[in-house]
Amino acid sequence: MGRVITFIQVFALSSLVIFSNFTSAQLKQNYYANICPNVEKIVRNAVATKVQQTFVTIPGTLRLFFHDCFVQGCDASVMIASSGSNTAEKDHPDNLSLAGDGFDTVIKAKAAVDAVASCKNKVSCADILTMATRDVVALAGGPSYAVELGRLDGLSSTAASVGGKLPKPTMNLDQLNAMFAAHGLTQADMIALSGAHTVGFSHCDQFANRIYNFSKQNPVDPTLNPSYAAQLQQSCPKNVDPRIAVNMDPNTPRTFDNVYYKNLQQGQGLFTSDQVLFPDSRSKQTVNSWASSSQAFNNAFISAMTKLGRVDVKTGQNGNIRRDCSAFN
């Protein structure tokens, strides 16, 4: 169905692009070259140690970065703990499933950076989260890439700011595109970032509607591969313990690769928001392209992550460098 784009929408969109370019202007590679020259190596070593302790570090950190950037920008506001009368972002229902290992990765990397006298309190939690995210992707077999740095940590974190800002597993293509476009991200960026579902897991309640009560005519979502649906029902029986989780990629769950897109071709997308990417003619060609070329997917993922990392970056008086990632200075 065609859409009429008004002048106001065009103006708002161009303003968004100008604004996002302005805020990302201070970001650059090797930002800490003269401040804390070994910061990337320090963070990478801390992340590698954490990954050796638990694989959950990888999807946990990747998801934390995404949830941070989509709410108030990439400013580590999701790291703040609730205190006194303030309920922070992390305690909004949409963030309660964030793995503690993601938070712990950033905290440990921050401690490692601050243990170097010349680096102490010179590197933001937001930048450490950005570097750690790149490192977990590489440690899982995905691409490594140069990260832009220079973000400050945000000065606000409220649960009230989260509502409606994060994608839901039930969303259709139009809803996903609109949500990503609000941050200056294209449909291709959205499909590339969805590819992060090649690692990690989900709790049964996030997709139970697809395997038990999809519609009156079809209790099971007809876009689900029947044998995959049966496998999910076995892993997630009705009234299952809500703590039970299943791998998002049933084939290579511990490797960051392009198998996510091959799964979509086979009806093995776990969420509605995953599987909608394949049958729709607007997105199908992209899915097929990346299913057949891991290099094409890796390039698109790097581009999308770089753009995501520029969202609403805090500068000047709008941020600072936290001494403790979980508390304001």
Task: Determine the average pLDDT of the residues in 263-291.
Answer: 98
Task: Determine the average pLDDT of the residues in 199-213.
Answer: 95
Q: pLDDT tens digits for 225-238?
A: 999 999 999 999 99
**Residues of the chain with pLDDT > 90: what percent?**
91
User: Which of the four pLDDT bands, split at 50, 70 and 90, describes residue 17?
Assistant: very low
* 77 annotated to a ligand binding site: yes
> Among residues 67, 92, 183, 203, which one is catalytic?
67
Q: Is 92 considered catalytic here?
A: no
* 221 annotated to a ligand binding site: no
Task: Tell the burial category of 192 from Cβ atoms under 10 Å away from its Cβ (0-12, 13-18, 19+).
Answer: buried
Domains assigned to the chain: 38-161 (1.10.520.10), 173-309 (1.10.420.10)
Question: Token digits for 319?
Answer: 């941020």
Question: What is residue 18's predicted lDDT score, i.e. its pLDDT?
Answer: 43
Question: What is residue 12's predicted lDDT score, i.e. its pLDDT?
Answer: 47
* 73 annotated to a ligand binding site: yes
Question: What is residue 255's predicted lDDT score, i.e. its pLDDT?
Answer: 98
Task: Determine the average pLDDT of the residues in 16-25.
Answer: 46
Helix (H, G, I), strand (E, B) or coil at 324: strand
Q: Is the pLDDT of residue 52 over 80?
A: yes
Task: Determine the average pLDDT of the residues in 272-300.
Answer: 98
Q: pLDDT tens digits for 239-254?
A: 999 889 999 999 999 9
Task: Give me the count of residues in the chain.
Answer: 329
* 315 annotated to a ligand binding site: no
Q: pLDDT tens digits for 165-186?
A: 999 999 999 999 999 999 999 9
Query: Mean pLDDT in the chain?
Result: 93
* 40 annotated to a ligand binding site: no
Q: Is the pLDDT of residue 21 over 80?
A: no
Question: What is residue 11's predicted lDDT score, i.e. its pLDDT?
Answer: 42
* 153 annotated to a ligand binding site: no
* 197 annotated to a ligand binding site: yes
Task: Determine the average pLDDT of the residues in 63-92.
Answer: 97
Task: Determine the average pLDDT of the residues in 72-95.
Answer: 96
Question: What is residue 164's predicted lDDT score, i.e. its pLDDT?
Answer: 94
Q: Please, are residues 74 and 67 in contact by the beta-carbon 8 Å criterion?
A: no
Question: What is residue 25's predicted lDDT score, i.e. its pLDDT?
Answer: 53
Question: What is residue 243's predicted lDDT score, i.e. its pLDDT?
Answer: 86
Q: Compare 25 and 204 and report the one with higher pLDDT.
A: 204
SS (H, E, C) 248-301: CCCCCCCCCCCHHHHHHHCCCCCCHHHHCCCCCHHHHHHHHHHHHCHHHHHHHH
Helix (H, G, I), strand (E, B) or coil at 327: strand
